[in-house]
Each structure stands twice: as structure tokens, then as C-alpha cells.
Structure 1
């Protein structure tokens, strides 16, 4: 399904895109970042907070992080201060990059089992599928934040994977 190299590539891509998205968001006034824009996680800040919450949750299932103490429904409020959110995002991108860097083909085999608070039941899925989901989830919600940031008048620069990563 996927390889360790896929995970390493996506970790690098997501770290760079987080730098671009947070950089653009930080150029906006705080009230723009916090404005409820009628999206799933309400605001730019809330969406970026949710992504960090989800990354921590997923990596906790692989034994690489502590699970956040708040439920998914409050994940948009994980970190109140945007500067602190950016600091935590950078640190956690390093955790993801290190984790992806040590993945082997064997780590992507078999199933991962966990209890999902979001759906209220035990889940089991192929490990490779879950790893793919971690990066897909980031890209999905970061795209929402990107659209909100663009609507607010800022730019992140290119977002296409072939043009973001260095040669």
C-alpha cells in the first residue's frame, strides 16, 4: 500500500506546508484567525489546533506521543495562544519527522487497534492505511485553513507537493 519513504516524504511536505500556512496566518490580525467562518472547526485557529490534536492522538496510538486530554469535539481549543500553537506545531512536526524516519516496511504491516472516541467504539484498521490517513488528514484540514487564509487576503505560496519539496 505505502512505503516508509512515502511517510518520510509526507512528513517533510507537511512540515513545510505547516511553516507556510502558519507564516501566512501569523500575518493576519488575531481577530481574523479567530473569526468564526462557519467551517467545521470554526476558524483558522480552531482548524490548525484540531490538526495538532489529531496528530498527537494518532501518534499516541503508535506509542510516539501522549494522547491529548481533551475530546475531539474540543480539539479546536487545544491551544489558546496562537504563538504557543505555532511553537507546539513545530515541535510536533519534528516528532512526526523522526517517527517517519525510523519506520520500516515491517512497521507498516498488520493492523492497529484502538478505541475511537469520535465514533464511540473499538476500531481495527491496517497500519499502512492509518499512516496514510495521518498525512491525508493533515492535508485535508490544512487545505481548509489555506482557503480561509486566502479569503482573508494572505498567501502561503505554492501548495502542490512536487513544487514544495526541494529537489
Structure 2
């Protein structure tokens, strides 16, 4: 599983670079335009991914094996909701996204396989106590990003911007 999480961390960074480069082709007004999506706009969808990532990363920082990895999380916002606006403009959101992706890129290297079995206790956004194994939570974290990036790429395509290849398979080495 740990090798898969290394791949997913690479995929996260690669896709966010592509997604944000594509989004940067549109004017701010087009990014903010309500398109009837679950989070309204392209900007709202990207903002949701950022908020959710930060919520999870702050939870992950409480994992005993991630004390050193988690220390720089103190310098990042700690949203209280999945829709909390953390940036007013696309450039500000892109800067925050890059900082978050730096933390995500380093996350798998801070873990050992046994760390995936650790029970992580946290309160969800409704303040309901949870206690779940870290490995499946990390799997959810990466799956959540992929799900909403798919929504964002659809919104961008509808706005006339093609993100290009988005498949995880593009990062899996061809060994044939």
C-alpha cells in the first residue's frame, strides 16, 4: 500500500499542476462564474479540494509517525468547513495549492507500512468523533481529490479549456 500512496502523491502534484495551468488560461471572472456545479464555480470546486485537503492533512499531522512531517502544517490554514473560502483570487489559491502539494509530496516518505494500521482519532466536520485506520483514510484522501478534480476538469472543458491526459496510468511506468 505504501508504494501506491507514493504514486498517488506524485499523481496529486502532477494533476494539480496540469489543472491549475489549464485554469490559468481563463480570466478570473470565468473561474468565479457559477456553472451549476456542486460547489458552484471552477474556483469553488478547486477551493473545496484545498479546504478538504487541509482538513485531512491537519488530522494526519496528529499521527504519531508524522510529528516531524506535521510541524510545517502549523503554517497552513486550518479550515473548519469543506466550503470555507481560503483565497479570494485564483493566484492566491494556486499559491496555497502549491504549498499544500509540497506537504502531500513528502507524506508517504514519512511513513512505514505499519503506520498505515494506526488508529487515527479525530472529529469530522460535524464534530462527530471518529476512530479509523490510517491507511483507508489516506486512500479516501487521494480518492476524494481525484473525484473533485474530475469535476473541475469537466467544468474547464465546458468553458473551452482541455486539461489533457488525466489518467493515473500516465504515471505508471511501462515495463513491457
Per the TM superposition, whether the score is higher than 0.5 is: yes
Give the match for residue 163 of structure 1. 170
Q: Does 1:123 align with 2:121?
A: no
Q: CA RMSD in A?
A: 1.7
Closer, same or farther: CA 25–165 of 1 in aligned 2, 3 Å: farther
Quick check: 1:13–1:165 contact (8 Å CA) kept in 2? no
**Which secondary structure does the structure 1 equivalent of 2:107 belong to?**
helix
Task: Output one character per residue of 1:122-141: Cα deviation in whole Å (capped at 9) or x when no partner.
Answer: 11111111000110010011
Closer, same or farther: CA 107–73 of 1 in aligned 2, 3 Å: closer
The TM-score, its normalising length taken from structure 2, stands at 0.86
Bigger RCO (CA 8 Å, 6+ sep): 1
Task: Output one character per residue of 1:55-96: Cα deviation in whole Å (capped at 9) or x when no partner.
Answer: 111111121224744432532x21112111111111211111
User: What stretches of structure 1 move > 2 A for 4+ residues in a row?
Assistant: 64-71, 164-167
Quick check: 2:47–2:93 contact (8 Å CA) kept in 1? yes
For residues 107 and 80 of structure 1, the distance between their equivalents in structure 2, rounded to whole angstroms, comes to 37
Q: Does 1:107 align with 2:115?
A: yes
Unaligned runs of 5+ in 1: none
Equivalent residues in 2 for 1:1-167 (5 A)? 3-63=1-61, 64=70, 65-66=73-74, 68-75=77-84, 77-117=85-125, 119-164=126-171
1:120 Cα deviation after fit:
3.4
**Which secondary structure does the structure 2 equivalent of 1:155 belong to?**
coil
Unaligned runs of 5+ in 2: 62-69
For residues 166 and 89 of structure 1, the distance between their equivalents in structure 2, rounded to whole angstroms, comes to 26
**Which secondary structure does the structure 2 equivalent of 1:72 belong to?**
coil
